[in-house]
Structure 1
């Protein structure tokens, strides 16, 4: 696959504060990468560096094989970007602003614009100074989704949107994904990332602490098992790979190492299994593993 985004050893300081110490990841052609981490972890700093808004102190960052700082104008012709807090011209209407963004990009689709305005339930005739935060986000999203780009960068794009609008955004991103476009999605909504992303990059204190597909990352966390047996289920508490064992009557709940799951199930059958449910770990589980404590 062709690497659309390539970041290697990225570093950025603001005075004495080291915002990015060693950021390395890639976005392949046609891939959706979920970029997650709490406030202050370095997500927006990384994205602003990729956009050529701020200059890196060390490392390399390329989009379409071009340097993000030196070639930012050429790069911007092929990307769409939506920040977490869209700032608009107050005296222009939402429709006028969308049309301006589309014209500046140069590859807009007015039919798609009209479709998206209707889908996101935006009043395009209302002046931007009268918009709520959610409606300002809608203007940014509609403008970005109305143009044909090779890379879409979303930095907390659904901030301020209600759950219905979040769902519509996710559906529209899935359409972009199906058309083979690349997407870098930074989001606090882990279910959103889990639904859309092919790969997840977790950043903590300016460093990448985990990278991989969801399936790859799930091997690193434990499944939650609910087990009911005819025999004494308490015997399962000492099995290898069983953790956080709790019991009520003859039903137990525990977390289990995935690589030990076959042996755990084998031992459970010796007790006469009446119920066995194994829930794979979620992205939330993986995320919290890196931030607890």
Structure 2
């Protein structure tokens, strides 16, 4: 069942095209990673989904409702956390959390207190005294206290320390286990890799690849390091071998996944003494898409 869906979204600002045919889908109970460099079009897409911007062309639906026309009804069931949170300077953190929770008609005080403790926030301080990380905590506590059906998180861990990032990740998994849906926009690839069921990669306002991490790993390279009895020669002539480096007695390189079997057979002829293999990460996948490409282009 689809909770969020966009079809051929186009957004132009004058002559500049920020989004050029963005189509994606988030299913019920799924964490969908929306990744791309700064300026790729992530935030523009999210603003259209939230009804802040109107798409030039295409459709955006949440819960089967039009993101622009039915924004008020949609917002009752959506929690949003931006990457740079601005709060009312004269209210305390606790007052802001209470305000956001009441706006959604919920009043789960035990959940609120639990999250305040987990995120180690002092709710009695005025928001003007908070660091960026603490402002982020207020937004996250407000979101996860609200029992939303869809969480739209746009660089949500910006400013958080590693311990708080882990707490955030736990909250996301708890929401997922309760059947909630999460759209997680991030450029922290390790975070996406830990949390997301599927990933959409956006570049210059276009979705260039969508799928599960396993489905996308065909685009990546495995890193290998070998030490052999005889000198390993002519490696550069093999198809699918990249970035060859000598490291003392060993040689390291990367191999395209589809050529791995062929390369292993070749290397084994030289008598393998030592071998190390590192599986492809989402970062490898990400960099592969941007190698030699201009990564800028969209807002």
User: TM-score scaled by structure 2?
Assistant: 0.93
Q: How many residues align?
A: 292
For structure 2, which runs of at least 5 residues remain unmatched after alignment?
293-299
1:117 maps to 2:144: no
Alpha-carbon distance in 1 for matches of 2:161, 2:234: 47
Aligned to 2:189: 190
Alignment CA distance shift 1:248-1:54 (3 Å) = closer
Aligned to 2:157: 158
DSSP-derived class of the 1:274 partner: strand
Structure 1 contact 108–148 (Cα < 8 Å) conserved: no
Structure 2 contact 219–288 (Cα < 8 Å) conserved: no
Alignment CA distance shift 1:247-1:176 (3 Å) = same
Aligned to 1:95: 94
- Report the aligned-residue RMSD: 1.5
1:147 maps to 2:149: no
Alignment CA distance shift 1:160-1:238 (3 Å) = same
Alpha-carbon distance in 1 for matches of 2:26, 2:201: 14
Structure 2 contact 61–67 (Cα < 8 Å) conserved: yes
User: TM-score scaled by structure 1?
Assistant: 0.95
Alpha-carbon distance in 1 for matches of 2:199, 2:254: 23
Aligned to 1:34: 33
Q: After TM superposition, which residue ranges in structure 1, 4 or more long, deviate above 6 angstroms?
A: none
Alpha-carbon distance in 2 for matches of 1:13, 1:138: 33
Alpha-carbon distance in 2 for matches of 1:133, 1:107: 26
Alpha-carbon distance in 2 for matches of 1:235, 1:38: 36
DSSP-derived class of the 1:6 partner: strand
The 5 Å alignment of 1:16-95 reads 16-95=15-94
Alpha-carbon distance in 2 for matches of 1:238, 1:167: 44
DSSP-derived class of the 1:219 partner: helix
Aligned to 2:5: 6
Q: Deviations over 1:22-61 (max 9, x none)?
A: 1111111111111111222111110010011111110011
For structure 1, which runs of at least 5 residues remain unmatched after alignment?
none
Alignment CA distance shift 1:109-1:129 (3 Å) = same
Q: CA deviation at 1:180?
A: 2.1
